[in-house]
Each structure stands twice: as structure tokens, then as C-alpha cells.
Amino acid sequence: MTSSKMKVLGVSLAALIAVGCSSTSTTDSQSQAEAEAAAAAAAAQAEADRRAAAEAAARAEARALEVEKNSLETVFYFAFDESALSAETRAALDAMAAYLKKTDGAIRLEGHADERGSREYNMALGERRAKAVANYLSIQGVDRSRFDIISYGEERPAMMGHSEGSWSKNRRAEVKL
């Protein structure tokens, strides 16, 4: 904004100097030059305004996307030994997919299990949960090749307790945005 104003000021100043130094015999060419300068200034102003508006719109859009991102659920919970997505999870993943389709780049999906049962079976279960999320998102139109899936099984609990209160929070898939 400031630099474009400076440009306009510069052009006007040049025109004034031209007027002061000229003789009467060159009046016609002088007025033509003034008109051209004014037109150029107007065009520059218009271009600057258009650009500024586009930048503001992009910023607003980025802000909106950021707000949208921050409003998303990124952790999805599962029943014991299950990888089926609940109705709440599906609704949350619809919003996630809508957001992801406006972005590009890799999407990391982490699968987890609670501590019960065997560790390597839980590793496989965690992978299945992360893949269930990936499958749902890809059906909603998110490019499957963007997914980076890793299972941690029961190795990275979100909560350290040893009862259902913690287990229900540890049986999860996380989308890392």
C-alpha cells in the first residue's frame, strides 16, 4: 500500500517538474504527457488494489483454514479389539476430509491399542485402526497416496492407567496435522 502510494506521488512530482521547466510552445505535448502519466498512475493504483485484495482474501482463507483445522477432531477412539468407526468418528472424519481436500502434502496416521492382550497382536490392531481411518478419508476423496501410516500398538499409551478409563483413551487412531 505504502510503496504504491509512493509510486503515484513520484509520477505526479515528475509531471509538476516538467510543467515548471517547459516553454509555451510545447503545451500540447505537455498536456499529452500529463494525461499519459495520470492514466499510468491510475492503472498502477488499480493493480495495487487488486493485488492487495487478493492477498487479503488469501490471508482470510488461510485464517479460515487454520480455524477449520483447529476445530477438527484428530483423535478417534475404538472399542476393544475393534477397528470399526463409530458414527461420531465418521462425522468427524467427514469434516477432516473436507479440510484435507483443501490442503496437500503427507498425512501421518498413527494407530494405537490398549495394553491388554499381546503386544504384537496389538501392533497389528493399531495398524488396522489407522488404516480404517485412511480408508474412510480416501472414500471421502482424500488422495490415498498422501497417507503415511504407522502403528505403535500398545507402546505409546496416551494415558498411563490400567483400567478402562485409560484403556478407552489408548485405543485410538490419531491424524497428525
> Of the two residues 89 and 127, which places its CB atom closer to other proteins in the complex?
127
C-alpha cell at 63: 485464517
Q: Is 124 among the residues that bind other proteins (CB under 8 A)?
A: yes
Q: Which amino acid is present at 118? A: S
Binding residue for other proteins, selected from 69, 128, 146, 169, defined by CB under 8 A = 128
Nearest distance from C-beta of residue 51 to other proteins, angstroms: 42
Q: Is 169 among the residues that bind other proteins (CB under 8 A)?
A: no
- Angle, helices 87-100/27-71, rounded to nearest 10 degrees: 160
> Of the two residues 41 and 114, which places its CB atom closer to other proteins in the complex?
114
> Of the two residues 98 and 124, which places its CB atom closer to other proteins in the complex?
124
Cβ(153)–Cβ(109) below 8 Å: no
* DSSP string for residues in 87-124: HHHHHHHHHHHHHHTT--S-EEEEEE--SSS-HHHHHH
> Of the two residues 99 and 152, which places its CB atom closer to other proteins in the complex?
152
- Angle, helices 87-100/119-139, rounded to nearest 10 degrees: 60
Q: Is 156 among the residues that bind other proteins (CB under 8 A)?
A: yes
Instruction: Name the site residues for other proteins (rule: CB under 8 A).
Output: 81, 115-121, 123-125, 127-128, 149-153, 155-160, 162
